[in-house]
Structure 1
């Protein structure tokens, strides 16, 4: 096997394993509040960015349309989100976080942020900046191939 191929495979394995371990640890505080990672991602987006069209939420958190509807329905039943119908375009439905959803995110987010900070603390600030740059470059280059 060529040296370039071996290195690429090793990088893929290292990235995959690191991602799996980091995500598992990152989800621990979220799970304590009865949310799965996808539900948290939807709530976090609406908490920080405000009301969003349902189609855009799926795009931003990389979730398929059918799955998006299921997640939104679950969060709406829990009273954490609500649908807001667009007056100008009946085809567009917005999702908005409810006061109960805001209260939940206000309780979860500080612990989540501290957890993420501690997970990344193995790298110096400079290493974190370099990792951000390199991983972004890799992701954008892969995306441009498709």
Structure 2
């Protein structure tokens, strides 16, 4: 077996942490994607519906930032959600150039019915490996890492 090259003790630790973080997220996301597809939703669609359900009416720009999406991708996702009757597109009362998104009653019912199970799924996946204190520590450390960028 080929010996892995070292880039320095600290650098090797950072690389290992990054690889493990990425692998963990990819595995959890894969489970989420399968679960959501069984409910006829994509992960980005779910993100928009969940944001609108919990936060209320938001601009397309706000949703794009919240869901870590791109404007081009957001256009397609919004059109698909609108065609399913799950959201409405409105014009901002303050600035007619800004489009606002609002969840419909049907969209609200979908999120209301599936979100508790989504939370149970995430809790179960995390609880397989981490206790409550470890999850709190992980959350705190990831927020610290995010804020440093």
TM-score normalised by length of structure 1: 0.92
**Structure 2, unaligned runs of 5 or more:** 1-6
The question of 1:105 aligning with 2:136 is answered no
User: Is the aligned partner of 1:21 residue 2:39?
Assistant: no
Which of the numbers 53, 63, 71 marks the counterpart of 1:57?
Answer: 63
The aligned runs of 1:59-138 (5 Å cut-off) are 59-121=65-127, 122-138=129-145
The Cα shift of 1:31 comes to 1.4
Structure 1, gaps ≥5 residues long: none
Give distance in 1, aligned partners of 2:89 and 2:44. Answer: 18
For the residue of structure 2 that corresponds to 1:34, the secondary structure is coil
CA drift at 1:120: 1.2
TM score, norm. by length of structure 2: 0.91
User: Which has the larger share of helix?
Assistant: 1
